[in-house]
Amino acid sequence: MFQVQCLQSTTKTPTELYSKYSIGPFLKGQSTTVGNALRRVLLSNLEGIAITGVRILGIDHEFSTIPNVKEDVIDILLNFKQIILKGNITEPILVNLNVKEPGIITARSIELPDTITLVDPRQYIATLTGDGNLKMEFLITRGQNYVTSGKIDSTIPTGFLALDAVFMPVTKVNFFVETSRNNISSELESLILEIWTNGSITPSEALSSAAEILESTFGILKVVDTLPTTSQNTTLQIQEEKGEHLETIFIEELELSVRAYNCLKRANVHTLSDLLQYSAEDLLEFKNFGQKSAEEVCKNLKERFDMDLRK
């Protein structure tokens, strides 16, 4: 019988979680296939939240210094990249940091809503060396994988400095195959899977989410009947499965501008399945949604998923 067993689990620091699993038994050769699929999804497809933009009072570019602050702006931005957040948000939100007294500034000084928490509140940001007013705004966004500041720059509000966004909660994955210890047959084997996360989710949560994504993805390939006389029904079945899959793809993957993204969210459009219910003309009826935003949605939908809005 197929089993998943946790062999080891450790917490080195709040931002370094590790677990080791034995999965199987599989028929010979299947373990490598499953291991490769899980590794790819764990490292690329899980969602997380991160700081994508920062606005610092009195600063208009990263090659600046701040009065009475030990670090320059570039060093502060690098420290922001190390801040790990966890929570559940559906659209970008703004949070603040306002420090006036001298001393060390850490992540716990950021004013976060109840829906977001810090994995390590002790993360260092900067040191205020004298009386002053270090005032900042942060843009926190949900996304996948690693997105460079160059791609983010066009989507954040004016006045914000773009930040490389590390959305992926899984930092490392390793796997290997060994002969199953539960059966004397050499035709059976087990997959040994090691997962490291940044603390925003546990390795077990990561493994569960990856399995759900793979199940949804392979579900598209299900065909009820392949007989020629039922080819029309088969096509409908595949389309229905594809529609279900689109419900798991969030509009964040379109990488829209903040304006277009927020308008869609306010209209309760959260996934590609939701979006494809509308035509380009329908989008123009959304509040504050203009022709430029509609063209952006159509262009990104076509480029990234080879799909078009309803005619």
For residue 112, give the nearest of 91, 85, 134, 133 by alpha carbon: 85
For residue 69, give the nearest of 128, 124, 125 by alpha carbon: 128
For residue 193, give the nearest of 183, 180, 201, 203 by alpha carbon: 203
Q: Please give the DSSP secondary-structure letter assigned to residue 27.
A: E
Higher pLDDT, 156 or 139: 139
| 153 pLDDT above the threshold of 70 | yes
Instruction: Assess whether 55 and 139 both reside in one domain.
Output: yes
Instruction: Assess whether 211 and 140 both reside in one domain.
Output: no
Average pLDDT, the chain: 84
The reply to whether 300 falls in a domain is yes
Instruction: Assess whether 20 and 41 both reside in one domain.
Output: yes
Mean pLDDT of 15-25: 92
Instruction: Check if the beta carbon of residue 258 is closer than 8 Å to that of residue 155.
Output: yes
**What was the pLDDT predicted at 29?**
83
The reply to whether 132 falls in a domain is yes
The reply to whether 25 falls in a domain is yes
pLDDT 10s digits, 68-82: 888 888 999 999 999
Instruction: Assess whether 115 and 205 both reside in one domain.
Output: no
Alpha helices in the chain (DSSP H): 30-44, 73-81, 149-152, 203-219, 231-246, 258-266, 272-275, 280-283, 291-305
Report pTM: 0.68
pLDDT 10s digits, 249-266: 778 788 888 888 888 888
Q: Apex CA 208: angle with CA 202 and CA 213, to 5°?
A: 125
| Domain membership of residue 52 as a residue range | 48-166
Which range, of 125-134, 184-193, 270-279, averages the lowest pLDDT? 184-193
Give the number of domains in the chain: 3
For 237-266, give one letter per residue: b (16+ CB within 10 A) or e. eeeebeeebbebbbbbbbbbbbbbbbbbee
Residue 57 sits in a domain whose CATH number is 2.170.120.12
Instruction: Assess whether 58 and 153 both reside in one domain.
Output: yes
The reply to whether 235 falls in a domain is no
pLDDT 10s digits, 33-44: 999 999 999 998
Residue 202 sits in a domain whose CATH number is 3.30.1360.10
Instruction: Assess whether 83 and 123 both reside in one domain.
Output: yes
Which of 127, 150, 166 represents a domain boundary (last residue)?
A: 166
Please name every residue paired with 234 in a beta bridge, in sequence order, or none if there are none. Answer: none
Amino acid 135 reads K
Spatial separation of the C-alpha atoms in residues 146 and 45, rounded to whole Å: 10
